[in-house]
Structure 1
Amino acid sequence: MVSFEIRWNTKKFLIDLNDEEYDAMTVGDLKLKCQQLTEIEPQYMKLLARGAIIKNDTESIKNYKILSGSKIMLMGSKTHISPLKASPPKDDAPISTRLHWIRNLRESALKPDIHRYEKQAQEHLSKPHEPKQTKELINYGSYLHEQLMHMISQLDTMPEANEEERVERRKNVKETESLLDLIESVKNKLLQLMK
């Protein structure tokens, strides 16, 4: 029998598997199990174990060293909506379409995740903390930072547009940079705990 814990916001779920289930379970299977518990769709969740983001859905959970007593952090929300499902517009799509897509992605998918991350970090900082969980939060902050930097890069490489689109692009960059600053501030507080 293998038992490990899923932590999502303030909730904790215990997963009990017999040896056969444990041997057969992939990361994708674990995400489906998490979906039953939280109603979050797998494509909108991130799982962190041993300070690293679990990415490969076809990989066995054993390969990620998820063992009895492991604690896995789940990040995600059931309020996520369609922008993440939609494919990004092609490079030759109108600038206004590309700007609108980036704004939607940031506002409906990344921004709620970042505010949840900030809240989790504040709760973590306000009570006795395990170094392992601190590391997981720092790593997730790095993941969010990477997503926003990718967004900035997309905005920076857009060709010159008309004045209205230039204003929209500047606004998009400014709002994305403000979220980057927020993540940096949270990560720096967490990094202080590791010293």
Structure 2
Amino acid sequence: MSWAAIILAGGRGARLGGVDKAGIEVGGRTLLEWALDAVIDAREVVVVGDPVPTQRPVTFTRESPRYGGPAAGLLTGLDALLAPTPYVAVVAVDMPRLTMSTTRRLTEAAAGHDGAVLVGPDGRRQLALVLSTERLRQVRPDHEGQHNLALWRLLAPLTLVEVAVVGEEHRDVDSWTDLRDL
């Protein structure tokens, strides 16, 4: 199945004192490098965040409106894709335990559905999804409706297959304590 990827890297990093999460290192690699590895099978990758050098060709864009949240980032990333694909993987840049195996499980689960979402051990949906681009386009609001739209509200009309995490795939870096504990 052909799919593209959107990496959401445009947040403010408020709980990290405004530090750009994409550049934070875990295990000697930046969070962006970890995220790019998780979507290595993607036909095309859009990073919604500030441009930085990468080893892989990607398209960089900023969410519109700026700091409009994950839903605005997702929709801006969707608009920045150069070629149409039936599915798009959407991952947060701050989840260094995601792997290509994670995205493969999500793409397999999404086939024939509106999409699939990674679900943590506590039952919470994670910011690691594969979505039908056609269905996403059907539920998207106009540009004005994107600002501060909650991601899960945007995706509420979609029926998403839940995929259980393996190991620590759900771990993210929202604070310095999270980083230390990784």
Q: TM-score, normalised by structure 2?
A: 0.29
Q: TM-score, normalised by structure 1?
A: 0.27
**Which protein has the bigger strand share?**
2
Structure (1 or 2) with the larger CA radius of gyration:
1
Bigger RCO (CA 8 Å, 6+ sep): 2
